[in-house]
Structure 1
Amino acid sequence: MADESLRELLAKLLKRRDELRLESEALDKLIDTYRRLSLLEKEQDLPQLDLWKGSRSRRARSAYVAEMMAATRRLILAEGRPLTRSELLQRLESEGYVIDGSDKSKVLGTNIWRSEQFQHIGKRGYWPRDTPMPRKFGNTN
């Protein structure tokens, strides 16, 4: 009985370590994105790079979408299950991401699809292609 408790604790600790590693990687990518955006701002000699308006450059938009896809991956893995577009939209917006368009869910879905980083799992939502699916959701890899 004690062995089972120790195994469960160890499993939880290992899972938490993996979650922290993924969060750290996502944070590193976010920091790198902001550094690149800062350099881009200096290159363009602009007083401020405004990512929220249609006048942003293609390079800035691409960096912003890459950052948002890293956050999408982090959110899914932190939850430990596939997330739907509406769940992802709500969580990304609560973190401050701005998604332009009249149908934000569709815009997000298009960006997820274009990134080729995620697979759609039936009606359950999206899961990162490079990460094995938890057994309880069926292994699709």
Structure 2
Amino acid sequence: MSNNTTREIIAKLLKRRDELRLESEALDNMIRTYQKLMMLEKTPDPDQLHLWRGEGPRAAKTAYLSEILSEVRRIIVGEGRPMSRGELVRRLEAEGYVLDGRDKAKVLGTNIWRSEQFMHVEGQGYWPGDIPLPRNG
């Protein structure tokens, strides 16, 4: 085999390994998401309610939203630029998060706005409010 052929094979193998790693991470996130959803569906035994301490469906949904907003922040900071609602929905779903609503981008945007953790940069998307906007942003 020539060096070029070997390099091409190695490049393809490395690319495939990265694709498999991303797919595996997405599957792990989906598994965690569905496990959390299963917890929302369980009805506690009335004799065991004292063990829940506010961990009912509403509290679980609030915790899940908090996790999503943390992930939104991580994604945006990782990109180093403001991101649109649509971009964020695609990235979150690729990572296994389940988003509610007919217009997922609008629902996500509303929750981002309500959190008061992000600022909207006109024509670009959302950026964490406590981090200075990059000069090119």
Matches of 1:116 and 1:95 in 2, distance apart?
A: 24
Percent identity over the alignment is 56
One-letter identity of the residue aligned with 2:120: H
Hey, what's the Cα distance between the residues in 1 that align with 2:134 and 2:94? 26
Show the counterpart of 1:10.
Answer: none
Find the residue that maps to 2:73 and give its secondary structure: helix
What's the CA shift string for 1:55-100, capped at 9, x where partnerless?
x711000000000000000000000000000000000000011111
Which structure has the bigger radius of gyration?
2
Q: Which residue of 2 aligns with 1:106?
A: 106
- What is the total number of aligned residue pairs between the two structures? 90
Match of 1:125 in 2: 125
- CA shift, 1:135, in A, is 1.1
- Partner secondary structure for residue 98 of structure 2: coil
Q: Tell me if 1:76 matches 2:76.
A: yes
| Counterparts of 2:97 and 2:116, CA distance in 1 | 20
Structure 2 distance, partners of 1:67, 1:86, is 18
Q: Equivalents in 2 of 1:97, 1:87: separation in Å?
A: 14
Structure 1 moving runs of 4+ over 3 Å: none
2:84 maps to amino acid: T
Name which structure has the greater RCO, CA cutoff 8 Å, separation 6+: 2
| 1:38-77 → structure 2 map (5 Å cutoff) | 44=44, 57-77=57-77
Q: Which runs of 5+ in 2 are unaligned?
A: 1-32, 46-55
**What amino acid does structure 1 have at the position aligned with 2:91?**
R
TM-score (norm 1): 0.58
| Distance in 1 (alpha carbons) for counterparts of 2:136 and 2:88 | 21
TM-score scaled to structure 2, two decimals? 0.60
Distance in 1, matches of 2:126 and 2:63, equals 21
> How far apart, in 2, do the equivalents of 1:100 and 1:135 lie?
34
Task: Give the distance between the partners of 1:116 and 1:57, measured in 2 at CA.
Answer: 23
Q: Name the CA distance, whole Å, in 2 between partners of 1:59 and 1:123.
A: 34
What is aligned with 2:88? Answer: 88
- The residue aligned with 2:8 is none
| CA shift for structure 1 position 127 | 0.1
Counterpart residue type for residue 107 of structure 1: V
